[in-house]
Structure formats: C-alpha cells, structure tokens
Amino acid sequence: MPSHATQAKDRQNLGYVLRSGLAGGVAACVAKTVVAPLDRVKILFQASNPDFQKYAGTWSGTFRAVSQIYGENGIRGLLQGHSATLLRIFPYGAIKFMAYDQLEAILMPTRESQTNLRRFTAGALSGMTSVFFTYPLELIRVRMAFSTRNSSHTPEGYHRPSFLSAMRQIYREGPTTAAATASSSPSRVAQSSIFTRFPILKFYRGFTVTIAGIIPYAGTSFLAWGFLRSRFLPASYNAGSSKHATPLADLSIGAVSGGLAQTVSYPFEVVRRRMQVGGLTRPDRWIRWGETVRTIWATRGWRGFYVGLSIGYLKVVPMTAVSYAVWQWQRRLLGLMIRQRSLFVVLSLADLH
C-alpha cells in the first residue's frame, strides 16, 4: 500500500492535477445542465423578479413558473443564461476540485488527522478559491437568467440577452460622474470615480457576501459529508478494502450534507442575488449589504431570506446523482485513483450561485 507521503506526491503531479480538474469540470457541467430550469426559476424568485413573485413560496409555484417560462420561450427560455453557467461551472468545478485535493493532502494526510475542523477548513478554502477566480462569470450568468419579457429594464421590448450583451451592460452601467456629484454624497462621488477608473470591479457586485456565504456552505458540506461517512461507511476509507460505498449510499449522504449546508448559508445567497441584479434594478448607484438586508426584511420578514429554498432542495438529489455517475465514469476513463471521500468536491459544491 502506498505511503501517505507517496500519495501526497502523486497528487501534486501535473498530470494528476489536470486530469482531476478535467473530471471535476465535466461532472459539474453535466449536473448543472440537468437542473438548469430549476436554477433559473430560483434566480427569478431570489431576485424578486416582478413577473414571477406570484409563484414564490410554494412547491406548486415552482412548477407553474417553469410552465410559464416554457410556454413563453420554449426550452431556450428554461436554459436562458445556461451558456454563461457552463463557462463558469467548468473552471469553478475544476479549480475547486484541485484546491480541495491539495488541501486535503496538506491538512488531512492520515485518517487520524481527519478532524471536523479540518474538514470544514479545507472545504471553505477550496470554495473561496474557486469563487474568487470565477465570480465575474457567475454575475453574467445571473443577469442573463434574470431578464424576462416584461422586465422594466427592457422598455424597448424583450430580447433574450446574450453573454456578450450582458457583459457589455455590466461594464457600462453605474452612476455617471455628474449624477454622483449632484447627489452631494462623498461616498457616491468616490464610487463613481473608482468604478470609472476600474470598470472590472463592476463584475464583482455581491462578491463580499458571496465569500461570506461560501464559508458556511462549503465548510458545512464537507463537515457533514466527512462525519456521516466516517460514522456510517468507515470501511470506504480503508485503502485496499474490498468493501466500497454504493452509489445509493453516496447519494443519500451527499443529499443530506448538501441540504444542511444550503439551509445554513441560504440567506447569504438571497442577499447576493439581490446585489448581483442591483445594476438593473438600481443602475444609478451601488447597492450595499446593509441596505439589501433591510429591504428584504421590510418586504417579507425573515421568510424573505429563504425565498426559493424549496427549489434548492429539489436540486440536491438529481444533481448529486448525476455528479456521482459522471464522476465515476470520468475516473475510470482518465485512470484517476482517488479516495472515495474526495468525490464530495463535485457532489456537494457544483450547485452554488
């Protein structure tokens, strides 16, 4: 049996890193495609799109919203914004998988070192790393999914936004220098100045709340996954063991872990969505954390922070199942010998933003 030092060295091999990244990216893309219609409806609910607020809050409303989108725009409407999702999710899954794999080797090289704190830390850091590099793509994807036929920000008539048009709109939006000066607010003038000088920062609307949300989400996911597997499937951690976890066992534990993580971090996700579409709903200025939280609370109370959560739960089981199946196929195809516990990076985090 290879030593822990040998396993750690093998993980740092460039070929291993690239193949594991490819496998994670492909699995994440396939899983996201399966749940793309639910993902779009969730964004419309979270961002309080006026055309779909009447459906929010119930399971039946989710399916009625899907039906309305399909009736108006067909299958293309259900997949609106999905091209940006795929452009984002492949590097997101690849970076996340590689980051967790390396962090696992550093923080938990042996079974005895696999503590709950280290599981939480490795998951949180891998999630933060992938978010940092792929967030602009996530923002563009949300903007594309948010646009609807009767949206007030398209007075000239509805058109399905493309990736490039959404990117251009984000780049150009924001308060003009004159408007900022007329507001007599020093902070407004400073905002106008910095975003005029560094337009790339416009692609990071809601980034701080995303980072704050990814810590409990990814951390809780890995914590729950590691704890449940060590409790119910201890044999699956033993290298060379003839007993392996079944797909049903991984599906069940992954679903429970993802559900717990999403419940803990969901309020951050709702606030993030509101801030991401702030350039459309309030193009004259930058929307802040506190203002967004107060608006949600004043409008719907604490329930407003959990709008669309039922759709999130509905996504967990099929996404986990597809991710697992695709990952196993990729693992055999690419000849990756990865311990079963490392699979969770694909199963649990591919469904975020």
Cα separation, 258 vs 269, whole angstroms: 14
**pTM, entire model:** 0.70
Query: What pLDDT sits at residue 340?
Result: 40
Write the pLDDT tens digit of every residue in 326-345.
Answer: 766 776 777 764 444 444 44
| 86 alpha carbon, distance to own chain's centre | 12
CA atoms within 13 A on the CB side of 221: 33
pLDDT 10s per residue in the chain (353 long)? 455 555 555 677 888 888 878 888 888 898 889 888 888 887 788 777 777 877 876 777 888 888 888 888 888 888 887 887 888 889 988 888 778 878 887 898 887 888 999 999 998 999 999 999 999 988 887 788 777 655 544 444 456 678 888 888 888 876 544 444 444 455 555 555 676 777 888 888 878 888 988 999 888 887 887 788 788 876 544 444 445 566 677 777 778 888 888 899 888 888 887 777 765 555 555 567 777 888 888 888 888 888 878 777 887 767 866 776 676 677 677 776 444 444 444 444 444 44
- C-alpha count within 13 angstroms, C-beta hemisphere, residue 290: 0
- What tens digit of pLDDT does each residue of 49-76 get? 777 877 876 777 888 888 888 888 888 8
Q: For residue 224, what are its two tokens? A: 């729950």
For residue 12, the number of C-alpha atoms closer than 13 Å in the C-beta half-sphere is 9
Show the tokens assigned to 101. Answer: 């794999």
User: Domains in the chain, ordered, with CATH?
Assistant: 190-302 (1.50.40.10)
Question: Which residue type is seen at 1?
Answer: M
Burial environment of residue 44 by CB neighbours within 10 A (0 to 12, 13 to 18, 19 or more): buried
Residue 131: the pLDDT is 92
Q: In Å, what is the CA distance from 192 to each residue of 199, 202, 283, 289?
A: 10, 11, 12, 18
Cα–Cα distance measured from residue 337 to residue 335, given in angstroms and rounded to the nearest whole number? 6
Contact 307, 300 (CB under 8 A): yes
**pLDDT for the residue numbered 116:** 92
* 136 Rama sector, left if φ>0, alpha if ψ -120 to 50, beta otherwise: alpha
Distance CA 210, CA 236 (A): 33
**HSE value, Cβ hemisphere, 13 Å, CA-based, for 152:** 9
